[in-house]
Amino acid sequence: MNKRIILIAAFFGALAVVLGAFGAHSLKKIVTPESLAIWQKGVEYQFYHTFALLYLSTLVRYKHKLINFAFAFFTSGIILFSGSLYLLALKDVASLAFYPFLGPITPIGGLCFIFGWICLFLTALSDK
């Protein structure tokens, strides 16, 4: 197992629980239902890809460089995709003037997720 990947996954997992609880208990009182749905989508995808990172940590025995690429893509995807959704959900209450720039960041994070899954697929495909 790869300690670095597990530590990052554990951090993102704990953060997802905190952000999910914050959304369910505190945020729903101050944002619109649409913004809360955006927030929850960020938490959901953060959890999915936290589990993907944990799975990656078990594949280091392959010593395939695509594992490192998948790690980088999943981590970047969590930061860009989920992070931009969190900021978009808060744009009205936090008066974020830069929120129009967040729109293009979300799909870039989604592409990172896709590339991470492709790297995982290619790693499994190359296993002998």
- Predicted local distance difference test score (pLDDT) of residue 21: 95
- What angle (nearest 5°) sits at the alpha carbon of residue 76, between those of residues 70 and 78? 105
- Helix, strand and coil percent figures for the chain, each rounded to 5: 85, 0, 15
Per-residue model confidence (pLDDT) at position 59: 85
In order of 38, 42, 54, 57, 109, the CA distances from 62 in angstroms are 37, 31, 15, 11, 26
What is the reported pLDDT for 99? Answer: 67
The pLDDT, as a whole number, for residue 115 is 98
Structure tokens at 13: 């997992």
Distance CA 105, CA 102 (A): 5
| All structural domains of the chain with their residue ranges | 3-126
- The pTM of the whole model exceeds 0.85: yes
> 46-75, pLDDT tens digit by residue?
999 999 999 999 887 777 789 999 999 999
pLDDT at 46: 98
For the chain, list residues with pLDDT below 50.
none
122 touches 65 (CB < 8 A): no
82-101 exposure pattern, b = at least 16 Cβ within 10 A, e = fewer: bbbbbbbbbbeeeeeeeeee
C-alpha 77, offset from chain centre: 5
